[in-house]
């Protein structure tokens, strides 16, 4: 999990890549939950919140430019 300061240092392109990576991870976690294989269910919440952080910082950068 990255800190907000680390995310703010990234470019918009890097933030988009980070978002895609997190969305893929979230998809895989949801599949694991559905099949009963998930070892850490709390990770789903963490990934969702990290996606929200990335999207928030992306919108901040878009408004700032």
Q: What is the rounded average pLDDT of the residues 30-34? A: 96
At residue 44, does pLDDT exceed 90?
A: yes
**Tally of domains in the chain:** 1
Q: What is the rounded average pLDDT of the residues 37-56? A: 96
The pLDDT score that the predictor gives to residue 2 is 82
Range of the domain at 47: 4-64
List the CATH number of the domain containing 50: 1.10.287.310
Q: What percent of the chain has pLDDT over 90?
A: 88
CA distances from 13 to 9, 17, 46 (A): 12, 6, 22
At residue 33, does pLDDT exceed 90?
A: yes
The pLDDT score that the predictor gives to residue 64 is 84
At residue 27, does pLDDT exceed 80?
A: yes
């Amino acid at each position: 999990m990255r800190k907000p300061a680390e995310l703010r240092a990234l470019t918009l392109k890097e933030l988009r890549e980070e978002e895609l990576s997190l969305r893929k991870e979230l998809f895989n976690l949801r599949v694991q939950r559905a099949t009963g294989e998930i070892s850490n269910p709390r990770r789903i919440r963490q990934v969702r919140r990290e996606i929200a952080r990335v999207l928030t910082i992306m919108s901040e950068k878009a408004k700032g430019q």
